[in-house]
């Protein structure tokens, strides 16, 4: 009786033949199509060849260029068909016009998947570009999975696959998977993760997403044993219904952190009801992510911090925390921030206050919680006693230690020795590790740096060293107390620790 | 399972070439989905007024009812707290005069007492399809915009969470001598509004505003349903 409003379902590619993700992320042999025939080339193909070699990829690399010759000590094959051994994965960086035939050649020799770095497809908005992309989809559907086109590719520290143009990403593997359309966002996060301590299982920048894209990758990662935390940056999605169901399914299996970009321009649709006028894209996305059980972050820093926390802390909510630091203002800030995020900083019982107070300088210190150690030079052993003492309160489920290491610059100058020598950062990190081992309660380190000018590069270096030391001891590090508390709040929300005031 | 009664109402509206359901029609669709609405009778001529009054009982509310007229308050088409037949007749005359030129009738409606007004709604997101809204109602809907959304279909948990999501969620608690709102009934209401969106693609937007908490029970006091442009 009504006009047919239901559209015929978009024909969805089924997994036929089944996708061999193992060969895609951990290839034993790679073909790189579109390298330049001389050493000085700066194209994507040559760049990727160099980057993969510099990453120390251990498998075979087969460069391909119709001109043949040699490149970086490797023989260049004129045609994909000429490659003498099996190929698991292909990097395609040829001119857009030649991409379909290159992909087809890879399909024919049994390549499991390809990343297409070339641009010049649907992103141009031209008929030719769209048609080329449709051809890619058509070939992919015959049994070769495609990442891209118009992307920076796959990063997999375990195998040595890297994003363009990253020859210097970490080879340390870890629990975090990252998915994004944006190649720039991916390479930025890969670099930031390296020093922040976020270690990746795999990262996929899928560009135009002609074949593999958000929903299917979510499904794969939610079952991927190498991935414990999934994180994504989304601009647009293709199929809202499928995306939502994959989002919900993935979030029910592991922490799923989502940064949705492009929320500011609420589409001005012409609507008649209040409901529709208030349901702009920002509020709907927030609601959808909440409904799916995903962790929503609002910028790249918050995303990286949330990933660090989920990757390094035990999978549970932390309702009560202690904070140990210097300066009363830190304590006040801590309380204000914690309250905003529904986290408690309970006052310690008198016996623990006494125990903690006995190792702190007086007057000026406070052992209530937040614990004000009063002096930035309180030594690691005393801090260890403080942390052990505070952990004695069963309400405390996690501890934060804030170290204002930049103050050691004054000591360094007074004694005339480098700051890294006067600061007991190695002993400190070891003491914190001991506390975690003895109490079974995690500790987060916060290393604020108020001195970032040229004259303070030694402090910047000291803090980098301390961060590295902490990370190697399995202790997550944040720059600011607020960042740490917000990351804990994300964990609490995910693990159902959210408290609704009644 | 499709709801035949609701589909019939919407079908006949579309056949008349209209894109908006009147308050009365909207509430019939809601009632077909088990959503509690005000007891009401549509009176099209003065001779039936007496009967309508008897059915509803005083105090009552009289409203001009036409799919072509929005913003009834501003046009003086709502008369509340009517307590006698004399008042009712006067109101009837004024409402009919106010609707001159429109195809309308007068809705005689029980007067729902309650100080807490909520809004429940439905919109269609281009990506995610039908989404249900919950929030503070009445004049606060536009002023505070304290609302939350969930994509249909809603699970019980979704409905519970979206109610807690709004800043003013304490309005649902037992406050200032008022009973706590019946959460179960609100949950059902939210789930069922979502079902309308899923079942009937022709419905593009719904505003139930206000939904008044009467005692502990939520009742839809005013309703607007917009249909998709079929052109």
The predicted pLDDT at position A497 comes to 43
CB contact under 8 A, B151 and A244: yes
Residue A31 in contact with residue A83, Cβ under 8 Å?
yes
Is the CATH number of domain B4-36+114-227 1.10.260.40?
Answer: no
Rounded CA gap, A159 and A113, in Å?
15
Residue to mutate among B205, B230, B231, with most A CBs inside 10 A, is B205
- With CA atoms as reference, the chain A residue closest to B133 would be A275
Mark yes or no for CB contact B141/A274 under 8 Å. Answer: yes
Q: What distance in Å separates residue B67's CA from the closest CA in chain A?
A: 13
Rounded to two decimals, the pTM is: 0.90
Alpha-carbon distance A279 to nearest alpha carbon in chain B (angstroms): 7
The string of pLDDT tens digits covering residues A1-47 is: 444 444 434 444 454 568 999 999 999 999 999 999 887 878 899 99
Alpha-carbon distance B156 to A330, whole Å?
42
- Taking only the tens place, the pLDDT of each residue in A428-448 is 999 999 999 999 999 999 999
- Ordered by start, the domain boundaries in chain A are 314-494
Task: Please list the residues that pair with B214 across neighbouring strands.
Answer: B217
pLDDT band at A299 (very low <50, low <70, confident <90, very high): very high
A13 CA to chain B: closest CA distance, Å? 20
Q: Do B165 and A237 touch (CB under 8 A)?
A: no
* Cis amide leading into A4 (omega within 30): no
Contact B205 A272 (CB under 8 A): yes
Q: Calculate the CA A462 to chain-centre distance.
A: 25
The CATH class of B40-110 is alpha beta
How far is it, in rounded angstroms, from Cα A363 to Cα A157? 51
Report d(CA A367, CA A386) in Å as an integer: 9
Euclidean distance between CA atoms A497 and A489, whole angstroms: 9
Task: Check CB contact under 8 Å for B165 and A290.
Answer: yes
pLDDT for A471: 98
> Each residue of A219-268: pLDDT tens digit?
999 999 999 999 999 988 888 999 999 999 999 999 999 999 877 654 44
In tens, the pLDDT along A464-497 reads 999 999 999 999 999 999 999 999 999 999 998 4
* Structural contact between residues A291 and A464, judged by C-beta atoms closer than 8 angstroms: no
Paired tokens of B155: 């699970």
Domain spans of chain B, in order of start: 4-36+114-227, 40-110
ipTM of model: 0.88
Interchain contact, B131 vs A290, CB within 8 Å = no
Q: What is the CA radius of gyration of chain A?
A: 26
Return the SS3 of A276.
helix
- Fold for domain A314-494? Rossmann fold (3.40.50)
Residues of A in contact with B169 (CB under 8 A): 500
| DSSP-derived secondary structure letter, B128 | T
pLDDT at A168: 95
Stated length of chain A: 502
Q: Please give the pLDDT value at position B230.
A: 66
Chain B closest-CA separation from residue A3 CA (Å): 8
Q: How far apart are the first and last CA of chain A?
A: 48
Within 8 A of B164 by CB-CB distance, chain A residues are 500
């Amino acid at each position: 009786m009504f006009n047919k409003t239901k559209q015929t379902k978009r024909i969805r590619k089924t997994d036929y033949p089944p996708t061999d993700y193992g060969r895609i992320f951990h290839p034993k042999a790679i073909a790189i199509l579109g390298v330049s025939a001389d050493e000085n080339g700066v194209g994507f193909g040559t760049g990727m060849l160099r980057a993969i070699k510099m990453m120390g990829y251990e498998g075979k690399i087969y460069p391909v260029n119709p001109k043949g010759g040699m490149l970086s000590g490797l023989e260049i094959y004129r045609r994909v068909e000429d490659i003498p051994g099996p190929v698991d994965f292909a990097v395609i960086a040829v001119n857009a016009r030649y991409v379909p035939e290159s992909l087809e050649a890879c399909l024919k020799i049994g390549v499991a998947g390809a990343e297409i770095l070339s641009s010049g497809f649907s992103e141009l908005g031209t008929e030719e570009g769209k048609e080329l992309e449709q051809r890619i989809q058509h070939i992919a559907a015959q049994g070769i999975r495609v990442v891209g086109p118009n992307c920076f590719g796959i990063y997999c520290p375990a195998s040595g696959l890297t994003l363009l143009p990253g020859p210097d990403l970490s080879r340390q593997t870890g629990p975090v998977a990252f998915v994004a359309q944006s190649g720039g966002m991916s390479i930025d996060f890969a670099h930031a993760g390296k020093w922040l301590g976020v270690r990746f299982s795999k990262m996929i920048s899928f560009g135009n997403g002609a074949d593999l894209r958000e929903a299917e990758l979510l499904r794969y990662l939610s079952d991927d044993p190498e991935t414990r935390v999934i994180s994504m940056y989304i601009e647009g999605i293709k199929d809202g219904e499928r995306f939502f169901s994959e989002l919900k399914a993935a979030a029910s299996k592991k922490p799923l952190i989502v940064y949705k970009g492009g929320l500011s321009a609420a589409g001005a649709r012409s609507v008649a009801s209040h409901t529709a006028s208030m349901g702009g894209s920002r509020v709907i996305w927030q609601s959808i992510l909440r409904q799916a059980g995903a962790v929503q972050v609002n910028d790249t820093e918050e995303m990286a911090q949330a990933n660090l926390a989920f990757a390094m802390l035990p999978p549970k909510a932390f309702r009560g925390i202690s904070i140990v630091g210097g300066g009363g203002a830190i304590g006040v800030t801590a309380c204000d921030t914690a309250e905003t995020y529904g986290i408690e900083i309970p006052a310690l019982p008198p016996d623990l206050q006494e125990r903690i107070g006995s190792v702190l300088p007086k007057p000026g210190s406070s052992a209530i919680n937040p614990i004000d150690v009063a002096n930035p030079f309180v030594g690691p052993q005393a801090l260890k006693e403080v942390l052990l003492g505070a952990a004695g309160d069963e309400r405390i489920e996690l501890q934060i230690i804030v170290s204002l290491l930049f103050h050691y610059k004054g000591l360094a100058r007074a004694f005339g020795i480098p700051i890294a020598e006067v600061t007991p950062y190695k002993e400190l990190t070891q003491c914190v590790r001991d506390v975690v081992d003895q109490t079974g309660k995690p500790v987060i380190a916060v290393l604020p740096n108020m001195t970032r000018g040229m004259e303070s590069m030694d402090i910047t270096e000291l803090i980098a060293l301390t961060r590295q030391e902490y990370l190697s001891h399995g202790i997550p590090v944040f720059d600011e107390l607020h960042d740490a508390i917000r990351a804990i709040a994300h964990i609490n929300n995910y693990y159902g620790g959210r408290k609704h005031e009644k | 399972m499709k709801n035949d009664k609701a589909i019939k109402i919407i079908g006949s509206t579309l056949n008349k070439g209209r894109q908006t359901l009147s308050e009365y029609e909207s509430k019939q669709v809601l009632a077909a989905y088990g959503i509690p609405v005000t007891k009401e009778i549509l009176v099209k001529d003065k001779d039936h007024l007496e009967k309508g009054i008897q059915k509803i009982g005083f105090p009552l509310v009289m409203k001009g009812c036409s799919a072509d007229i929005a913003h009834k308050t501003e046009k003086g088409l709502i008369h509340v707290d009517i307590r006698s037949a004399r008042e009712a007749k006067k109101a009837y005359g004024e409402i009919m005069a106010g609707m001159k030129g429109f195809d309308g009738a007068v809705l005689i409606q029980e007067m729902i007492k309650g100080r807490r007004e909520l809004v429940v709604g439905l919109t269609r997101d281009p990506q995610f399809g039908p989404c249900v809204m919950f929030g503070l109602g009445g004049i606060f809907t536009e002023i505070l915009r304290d609302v939350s959304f969930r994509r249909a279909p809603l699970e019980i948990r979704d409905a519970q969470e979206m109610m807690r999501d709004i800043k003013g969620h304490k309005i649902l608690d037992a406050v200032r001598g008022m009973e706590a709102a019946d959460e179960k009934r609100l949950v059902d209401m939210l789930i069922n509004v979502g079902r309308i969106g899923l079942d009937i693609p022709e419905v593009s937007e719904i505003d139930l505003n206000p939904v008044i908490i009467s005692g502990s029970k939520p009742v839809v006091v005013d309703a607007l349903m917009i249909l998709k442009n079929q052109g």
